[in-house]
Amino acid sequence: MKPLRIALTKGRLEKDTVDLFEKMGLDCSAVREKGRKLILPVGSGEIEAVLAKAADVITYVEHGVCDLGVVGKDTILEHGTGFYEILDLGFGKCKFALAGPKGKDFFSGYATKTIATKYPNVARTYFEGKGMDVRIIKIEGSVELAPLLGLSDAIVDIVETGSTLKANGLEVIDEVTPISARLIANVASLKLRKAEIESLIARMEEAKKISQEK
Ligand code: PRP
């Protein structure tokens, strides 16, 4: 039988997923000692881990070259819905927030506001929900710079500990939505390999429950 192929978001979510796999009793030594290798066996060959960037995890799962994926809800909200979201893994917790210079009343005044963000779709949906017309500028990283440099009135970005905002004289104006890591599945894989995927999900849920009880 072909291994179930699961795309993992490289970095912290990859580490948290490997921890979860190990709690499930799966051997992850190949991933732990991966070097520069990007496709690695997990367990006794029943799973194959593919290490990818967050948005690419979605692309590989949507196109069916990976059966499953582990990706943040932030990437899911920004990049689409052509797959099933099947489990909240409970790690990688943070939030999307609207943030701006400390002490400024963002919602006052009539001038159109400018928002800098790495997540234009998330920002657009948020402001549409508020019935507010804003100008959105896409920034690739360290979005906190934009209001400091006078490019934007505020940002929509990920906040985890809040220390980046604090260190740069910014504060949360409004919380947009909570984020955590999700297990996603290719639509056809979920039909064709239902039993295998369901048994993996059950084991993941069990391991998640045990780690949450600790
Ligand atoms: C993320 C996010 C914030 C920071 C928030 O950036 O965009 O800048 O982390 O974390 P904190 O609330 O714990 O300070 P990341 O480090 O991923 O890099 P980037 O800015 O280049 O996207």
* Pair 211, 23: CB distance under 8 Å: yes
Q: What whole-number distance in Å separates Cα of residue 195 and Cα of residue 51?
A: 24
**Ligand 1 close to Cβ of residue 157 (< 6 A):** yes
pLDDT tens, residue by residue, 68-125: 999 999 999 999 889 999 999 999 999 999 999 999 999 998 899 999 999 999 999 9
> What pLDDT score was predicted for residue 202?
96
Residue nearest to atom 22 of ligand 1 (CA): 141
Give the model's confidence band at 214: pLDDT under 50 very low, under 70 low, under 90 confident, else very high: low
Mean pLDDT confidence for 15-21: 97
pLDDT tens, residue by residue, 125-163: 999 999 999 999 999 999 999 999 999 999 999 999 999
> What pLDDT score was predicted for residue 213?
79
> What pLDDT score was predicted for residue 126?
98
**Ligand 1 close to Cβ of residue 161 (< 6 A):** yes
Closest to 207 in 3D by CA, of 70, 6, 23, 13: 23
Q: How many CB atoms lie within 10 A of CB 3?
A: 16
Q: Is the pLDDT of residue 210 over 90?
A: no
> What pLDDT score was predicted for residue 206?
94
Closest to 68 in 3D by CA, of 180, 194, 210, 178: 194
From the CA of 158, give the closest atom in ligand 1. 2
Please give the distance, rounded to the nearest whole angstrom, from the Cα atom of residue 170 to the centre of ligand 1: 13
> What pLDDT score was predicted for residue 2?
92
Please give the distance, rounded to the nearest whole angstrom, from the Cα atom of residue 158 to the centre of ligand 1: 6
> What pLDDT score was predicted for residue 94?
98
Mean pLDDT confidence for 9-26: 97
Amino acid at residue number 4: L
Q: What is the mean pLDDT of the chain?
A: 96
